[in-house]
Amino acid sequence: MPDPSLVLLSATRSRGATPIVTVTAKSWPGIERALDQAGRTWLRKSGFTGQPGKHGLLPDKAGNLEKIFYGLAETPGDPFEFARLVRVLPEGNYRIDGDLPDKRGSILGWLLESYRFERYRTGASPSPRLVCPADIDRAALLRAAGAHFMVRDLVNTPSSDMGPDDLEAAARQVAARHHAKLRIVAGDRLRREFPMIHTVGQASSRRPRLIDFIWGPARAPKLTLVGKGVCFDTGGLDIKPASGMLTMKKDMGGAANVLGLARMIMEAKLKLRLRVLIPAVENSISGNAFRPGDVLTSRKGIRVEIGNTDAEGRLILGDALALADEESPDLLIDMATLTGAARVALGPDLPPFYTSDDDLAGALARHSTKANDPLWRMPLWTPYYALIESSIAELNNAGESGFAGSLTAALFLKRFVDRAKSYVHFDIFAWTPAAKPGRPRGGEAQAIHALFGLIEERYGA
């Protein structure tokens, strides 16, 4: 994982840094007139006329880079567009000279664009370095980028090196850094206390487990994070096609994002009691794999008929949510790469969330916009419980109709939450299929910046 502190320099390093001058189509003619003839000629011949998203490199008389001009749109758009410069500028130190509509967001985009996954391949060119302006909280940006990088690294790591053991090791590292108390439930105890987690993972040679850690004073407001940790998903006996397995290393993306959010919370020392629950399994195939038509009895006592073994995420989350709910947390959040239906509805970049708490939904929407972390509320339409009814048990984990797949998955999970004062479910993708500024192709953190903004607002230091 690259170190974001090597990319974002302190404000004291501005001396000698090459300025990036921001311009608009309106301001450019005046700026251009102030240049000498050689500079105007050079920029015109290089094709720069102040267009949004474009840049112009201006050399000095000795041929060294003197300044960069960068075009802004008249109407503010995605602040991460500024990160296009990371891919085109030579190594060196740079500073912002001018206005940016969302300076913090633009700098975060620069950091996120500098990410490289280097576990199996090294030798990438060093990223250009940016001086953090004095009016921007550099420490907060480094916390956000560090957590984001960690999420990407976890999701990008192949399942050969990111099984339940490895996910546990990652959680241990995060917990140990902040002196959180961690326990692991596995083996016979897992079978007794969390039967659905055990059943989903029992076919793998890598044993299933529940990762559970707690941080913060016992009497503080209780925040519990639950993350889906399916380290690889074959689909089970309802096996996926080969094309459907190509990115299934990312099926632990909910767990990765929960760990990233937990890291940000603990590093910021927010005033809360944090609990993190990660059911970590591999949905594999062997003689003891669970079958379509089986009925499982959950920790909560709800009996679930298996309509499809590829709808395993909601099973392991159901047991973990039941445990979380038992202590009536003030806020309960789960994150999961749960359904393809969410991608069909909203695409890869816009995760839906589900909650019955209108105040929470409004605050999430506000922080989503502020953090440039897209989210969209979807309805918990209770009449659709009819779609996951079972003729022999209390619920079916998949149903037969195929309609409203993300919504019915959310309703399924909601059945395991009774006591939490507020609850929200995120159906994330945790993957960027096509690179965009600040969002390289591969594993991705989603919703954690919006959530951190909301949590910091409620439980700030």
CA–CA gap between residue 421 and residue 219 (Å, rounded): 16
**Which pLDDT score is estimated for 299?**
98
Question: pLDDT digits over 320-357, tens only?
Answer: 999 999 999 999 999 999 999 999 999 999 999 999 99
Does position 461 have pLDDT exceeding 70, yes or no?
A: no
**Which pLDDT score is estimated for 122?**
80
Query: Please, which residues bridge with residue 184 across strands?
Result: 211
* Percent of the chain with pLDDT strictly greater than 90: 95
Domain at 143-459, CATH class = alpha beta
Are 316 and 197 in contact, with CB atoms under 8 Å apart? yes
Q: How many C-beta atoms surround the C-beta of residue 431 within 10 A?
A: 21
In three-state form (DSSP H/G/I as H, E/B as E, the rest C), the secondary structure along 316-381 is: HHHHHHHHHHCCCCCEEEEEECCCHHHHHHHCCCCCEEEECCHHHHHHHHHHHHHHCCCCEEECCC
- Locus of tokens 């989603």: 446
- Cα–Cα distances in Å, from 55 out to 30, 44, 225, 240, 429? 17, 12, 42, 45, 32
Domain ranges for the chain, please list them: 4-136, 143-459
**Which pLDDT score is estimated for 386?**
97
Question: pLDDT digits over 401-431, tens only?
Answer: 989 999 999 999 999 999 999 999 999 999 9
Question: pLDDT digits over 147-181, tens only?
Answer: 999 999 999 999 999 999 999 999 999 999 999 99
Q: What is the mean pLDDT of the chain?
A: 97
Same topology, domains 4-136 and 143-459? Answer is no
Q: CA nearest 164: which of 260, 284, 281, 317?
A: 281
Q: How many C-beta atoms surround the C-beta of residue 177 within 10 A?
A: 11
Q: What is the mean pLDDT of residues 208-212?
A: 99
Question: pLDDT digits over 10-60, tens only?
Answer: 999 999 999 999 999 999 999 999 999 999 999 999 999 999 999 999 999
**Which pLDDT score is estimated for 198?**
98
**Which pLDDT score is estimated for 74?**
87
Question: Catalytic pick from 314, 343, 414, 415?
Answer: 314
Q: Catalytic annotation on 275?
A: no
Question: Catalytic pick from 87, 240, 377, 436?
Answer: 240
Q: How many C-beta atoms surround the C-beta of residue 205 within 10 A?
A: 8
pTM for the complete prediction? 0.97
Does position 2 have pLDDT exceeding 80, yes or no?
A: no
Q: CA nearest 438: which of 122, 82, 8?
A: 82
Q: Catalytic annotation on 314?
A: yes
Q: Radius of gyration of the chain from Cα atoms?
A: 24
Q: What is the mean pLDDT of residues 381-389?
A: 98
Which CATH number is correct for 4-136, 2.60.120.260, 3.40.220.10, 3.30.350.10, 3.60.15.10? 3.40.220.10
By DSSP bridging, strand 376-378 and strand 295-297 are unpaired
- Locus of tokens 């060294």: 64
**Which pLDDT score is estimated for 76?**
86
In this prediction, residue 125 has a pLDDT band, given cuts at 50, 70 and 90, of: confident
